[in-house]
Each structure stands twice: as structure tokens, then as C-alpha cells.
Amino acid sequence: MALMGKDIVAGAVTGSGKTAAYMIPVLERLLHRSKKVQSTRVVVVTPTRELSIQVADVGRKLSQYMPGMKFGLAVGGLNLRVQEQELKARPDVVIATPGRFIDHIRNSPSFQVEDVEILVIDEADRILEEGFQTELTEILQLLPAKRQTLLFSATMTSSIKSLVQLSLHQPIRIMINPSNQVASGLVQEFVRLRKRESAKPAILTWLLRKLDANERIMVFVARKETAHRLRIALGLMGIRVGELHGALSQEQRLAGINDFRSNKTNILVCTDLASRGLDIPRIAVVVNYDVPKTYEVYMHRIGRTARAGRQGRSVTFVGEASTERAIVKDAIKNIKKGEAKAVSREVNWTEVTKIVGQLEGKTDRIEEVLREEKAEKALAIAEMELRKTENMLKHRDEIHSRPKRTWFEDKVTSEHGRKKKRGPK
């Protein structure tokens, strides 16, 4: 359908190959492009920088035998000037986050979109969840009206339906598998905490020691502060882990993902930043340290394992809250007979109690590490401000001669979910 140039609304369970589903027909169509004039013909919009970088990597691998095929990134958190130079070469495919894409259209004179023939909106539901409705609407208006639009979304909300009506022309709908269907190779385990919420770090330590040290494990938490504190605590207990959340710099986030992919660290403690889109192969176990607020998010998290027909396991710590129990009920209800399994995981509470004592003995050290990091961060910010001031004085004339950048007048939601005003970088 995509090869025929039709507009498409598509949905499928996580891990089923949505990136390849749009990238292969896009590349096939680009084989027949005019080679005389280099221009950007395809734009892929994604909700996060990490997903954009991943999509670009997939595209480059799929097109490795297509001479002259160029990919460009327009994402926040990476060097603006480097991206401007990359876009100046008019790459065939530009993969972008919404805010930075509009920034380049407005402020990079050499970046033109009048030849765009295909727009792909990947993880459309998450783009809207992150608050990018205004930017997405503007992108749809800026791109040529005569184009093919491919919209991919794991869920079909009322906002998505409105977006489809506004931006797609007689779209073909392709929905593969209901969104609540669990992969057949997945075993879902549940740990009843029974008013032992304070022992969760100790239960996690006990569990990670019981699991195969060579298995790749993702631990999902609700807050970035929890992720960072757990990383320190587990490290002091002799368990090497990485972390991935919105409080890290872009370089730290990419380093964390790369270390996990290359098995430098087998355990990654993360927030829901990594629950969707990111394709990290062969994850054996997903641990829900904090139960998510909705069953849909739960599905996205456990969808990191048991992908592409493989076996996998999820372990969820369940407290006494009614919302947490409701998610367990939904998980059990949506299991088909003879396929996935749901079981209660037994915990050795004697061993856990010992670990609780060990962790309590390390509380002072954890607080000390946090204070040291805070001091180092403050020093780094001070040094950066000093260098910025020195550069302003040294290159004053050049800076003042540059044309002013334009910014959004309204508040824009960042990729971490916080609202802030756009301003000069």
C-alpha cells in the first residue's frame, strides 16, 4: 500500500517491525528519485531524540547498498550548527523531533522542504502525549499539501482520529493485533509486596542476584530521582547498572543506551523514556519496580522483551493501591489460554531482610555521593557560564552580526514532559 503512494494509518504491537514497515517502501520509492538535483524528499517525525537516532541507524543499514542515499537528523540536545551543515547538503531523508524541525525550517536558510513527497509520523500517540500538538499542526501546514502521509500509532485515541481527519487523504487503515495482546513467549510474574513498600530496593537487589548475570534486564521506575538513587545503591551493593532518564544530558543518555546494547552493562534502570520505540535486542527480563499508571504503559514496558517470537519474562512489584491491583487483573484477563503465562513469584523474605540491613548501612554513603554529584554539577555549570561570558566578549561583533533566531510564542512541552519557554540556546 505504501509503494502505491496511499496515505496510511497503521497500528501494531510493539516489537513487530513498524520502522521497517515504513522505511523499506520509502527507500524503494527513493530508488527512482532524480539524481540531478539533491533535495529532501522524506521527513520522519518522532517523539524523542533517541528514537530519531535509532530510526536513522535502521535507515542507513537498510540502504547500505543504495549509493548516494543520505540521512539527516534534526533533533534537540545535539549540536545545532553541525545539524545545520548536515541539512545544508539536503539529505534524502530527514528524521526529526517536532520542535527542532520547526526551528531549522525557520532559522536555517539552506534547509528547504518544498520537495518533500513523504511524511512519516512515528509514535503519533506519544508525540501528542508529550504535548507537541501545536508543533505537529505547524509541520503539517509547512510541508507540501500534495504528499503521502504514513501515520503509525500504538493506540487510536480521539486526538489521533482528529489528526488523521486533518492531515490524511482517504487513508487506508492497517491494524495488526489488538493492542492488549501479550506476546505468546512472555511469562508475567508478580511480587505481592503486602505493605513492604520500603523494602523495594532490597527486593530488587535480591531479584537481580537471582537472575542470570548474563541476561539483559530493564528495570522501570516512575521517577528519574528513583532511577539515579537505585543506580548508586545497586552499585554500592556490587551490581553494575546503567541508567536512562530525562535528567541526564543527551551524551549521557546515548552512552547509557550504547553501553547496554554492547553489554558493557547488562542492567538498565530507566523511566518510561525507554518504554516505547527503542529497539534494544534480546532483553530477557523487564522489571516493573514501580507499577505504571495505565495498562497501556504496562504493555509498552513488557513489550521490550519476548520480541520477534523470542521468550521473555516480566516481574512486577505490586503494592496495595487499587490502581496497581487493577493492572494485574487486566494482565491476567488478557492472557489467552495456552500462550503467555501469569504467575506469582515467591520471595525469600529472610534474605531480603538481610539486604534491607545492608542497604540501611549504606544510606550515609548514598547521600554523600548525591551531595558530591550536586557540587560537581554546580561547578560544571559555573565553568560553562564563565566560558560563555568569555566567548561573548571575545566574539561580540560576530555574534551581534548574526540574524536573530525566531522562537515559539507559546509554551512548548520538552521531551521530558516539562513545560518551558523556548529561548536562545
Same-domain check for residues 207 and 165? no
Q: Is residue 383 part of a domain?
A: no
Total count of residues recorded for the chain:
425
Q: What is the mean pLDDT of residues 335-351?
A: 82
Q: Is residue 65 part of a domain?
A: yes
Q: Is residue 414 part of a domain?
A: no
Angle at which helices 200-210 and 224-236 cross, to 10°: 60
Structure confidence by residue, pLDDT tens digits, 33-80 = 877 788 999 999 999 888 999 999 999 999 999 998 999 999 988 888
Last residue of one domain, picked from the residues 324, 345, 367 = 367
Same-domain check for residues 141 and 275? no
CA distance 5 to 7: 7
Q: Among 211-220, 239-248, 350-359, which range has the highest average pLDDT?
A: 350-359
Q: Is residue 401 part of a domain?
A: no
pLDDT at 177: 63
Local structure of 12: helix, strand or coil: strand
pLDDT at 269: 96
DSSP labels, 71-104: EEEE-TTS-HHHHHHHHHT--SEEEE-HHHHHHH
Last residue of one domain, picked from the residues 322, 342, 367 = 367
Q: Is residue 421 part of a domain?
A: no
Query: Which CATH number fits the domain that encloses residue 327?
Result: 3.40.50.300
Same-domain check for residues 160 and 212? no
Same-domain check for residues 208 and 344? yes
Q: Among 182-196, 210-224, 333-347, 401-415, which range has the highest average pLDDT?
A: 210-224
SS3 of 222-245:
CCHHHHHHHHHHHHHCCCCCEEEC
Q: Please check whether residue 246 is in contact with residue 271, taking contact to mean a CB–CB distance below 8 angstroms.
A: yes
Show the cell assigned to 305: 522483551
CA distance 63 to 28: 9
Q: What strand order describes the sheet that includes 148-152?
A: 71-74, 93-96, 42-45, 118-121, 148-152, 8-12, 172-176
Show the cell assigned to 79: 549540536
Q: What is the mean pLDDT of residues 379-407?
A: 76
pLDDT at 13: 66
Report which residue type is found at 59: G
Its pTM stands at: 0.69
CA proximity to 277, closest of 95, 139, 154: 154
Q: What strand order describes the sheet that includes 312-318?
A: 242-244, 267-270, 217-220, 285-288, 312-318, 186-192, 341-344
CA 64 to chain centre: 25
Sorting pLDDT into bands at 50, 70 and 90, what band is 178?
low
Last residue of one domain, picked from the residues 367, 384, 414 = 367
Same-domain check for residues 195 and 170? no
Same-domain check for residues 45 and 141? yes
Q: Is residue 402 part of a domain?
A: no
CA distance 257 to 176: 29
Same-domain check for residues 228 and 321? yes
Same-domain check for residues 206 and 329? yes
Task: Give how many domains the chain has, as a whole number.
Answer: 2
Domain that holds residue 36: 8-176
CA distance 129 to 83: 26
Work out the widest C-alpha separation in the chain, in whole angstroms.
73
